[in-house]
Amino acid sequence: MIKRRKTMNKRKSLVGLVALVLVMSLLTVSTIEAKKAPKLSNKKITLKVGQKKKLKVKNAKKVTWKSSNKKIATVSKKGVVTAKKAGKVTISAKVGKKVLKCKVTVKKKPTPKPIKPTPTKPEPAKPTPTTPVQQPTTKPEEPTKEPETTKKDEQEETTDNINRTKPYFSVANVDTKAGAKSVKVAVNINNNPGILGMSFAIKYDESVMKLKDVQEGEATKGVLSFTPGGVLESGCRFIYDGTEINSSQIKDGNIMILTFDVSDRAPKGKHSIEISYGENDSIVDNNLMSLDVQILNGCINVK
């Protein structure tokens, strides 16, 4: 009887051990299934300079983003990739000890041709009316009245080839004199289509004027981050960048105010201030699609 009881106890222990192993294996499988591996939304993308693309990591709460070359493309804390310069770069997403990678190819964007205003043609001079000479008569002469002339305000018609129903940048025309200081010139956006990001350069004649200061305009202030060029000189670039824009934030008006000092030796006449696009410049909307914006350049007119 004692031997039978020992045998039964051993069998019970063995069955219990097998059951415990099965339960542990099931728990391990369920735990592995519950923790799915993180997955990157894109492994390879192609962007044009100025375009953006948001990358996402599934099955991950905390992600650390990094770009292998910030000159070609940058990535924000939220995974928004911004193309800066033509080339190839790798964007890394670190989740714990695991690193996910996305290869990014940045291509050049076609350079839009700026539209320059064409000079207006002067109107032909109108012949002045002549007063008829009165012949002497036997009657006493009455004093003659000179015909009254009226002057009408003539408006010059500009033929600048700008379609004013479509988006366009405009640089103001400002009258000044040689040696003038702190001459302010506004750069405006008209018919704003909802610009989320843009970059361009400002060009002018440095022998005539010097750019001493740049201020962000009201149309983009608080909506887009504004980064002026390092050295304020002709050809310096300006970058506007944002992550999202809603309809209430889209408005026309100043995007920047340029402040110039005019040279004492500046010759009389119009000296152009131009918006210029380079191969690495672009303009994009809220959907990161390229926008075609016209350009109406302006000037400082030294009198």
Instruction: Identify whether 206 is part of a domain.
Output: yes
Query: pLDDT, tens digit, for every residue of 45-61?
Result: 999 888 899 999 999 88
Instruction: Identify whether 47 is part of a domain.
Output: yes
State the Cα angle at 87 between 84 and 90, rounded to 5°.
85
Least confident segment among 30-34, 40-44, 63-67, 299-303: 30-34
* Structure-block tokens of residue 287: 């959907």
Distance CA 39, CA 73 (A): 21
Number of domains present in the structure of the chain: 2
User: For residue 67, what is the domain's CATH number?
Assistant: 2.60.40.1080
Shared-domain flag, residues 180 and 260: yes
| Chain length of the chain | 303
Distance CA 59, CA 290 (A): 32
Q: Name every residue whose Cβ is closer than 8 Å to that of residue 86 and which is 6 or more positions away in sequence.
A: 49, 72, 106, 107, 108, 279, 280
Instruction: Identify whether 142 is part of a domain.
Output: no
Instruction: Find residue 88's DSSP bridge partners.
Output: 105
Task: Give the residue from 179, 171, 175, 205 showing the smallest Cα distance to 301.
Answer: 175
* Structure-block tokens of residue 23: 């339960």
Domain, as residue range, for 45: 39-107
Shared-domain flag, residues 172 and 101: no
Instruction: Identify whether 180 is part of a domain.
Output: yes
Instruction: Identify whether 205 is part of a domain.
Output: yes
Residue 32, H or E segment: helix 2-34
Query: pLDDT, tens digit, for every residue of 136-163?
Result: 555 555 555 444 444 333 333 345 788 9
User: For residue 220, what is the domain's CATH number?
Assistant: 2.60.40.680
Tell which of 61, 87, 107 closes a domain. 107
Instruction: Identify whether 141 is part of a domain.
Output: no
Q: State residue 288's pLDDT score.
A: 80
Least confident segment among 111-125, 179-193, 220-234: 111-125
Instruction: Identify whether 158 is part of a domain.
Output: no
SS3 27: helix
- Rounded to two decimals, the pTM is 0.53
Note whether 190 and 170 are within 8 A (CB): yes
The residue whose two tokens read 């006493």 is 140
Instruction: Identify whether 67 is part of a domain.
Output: yes
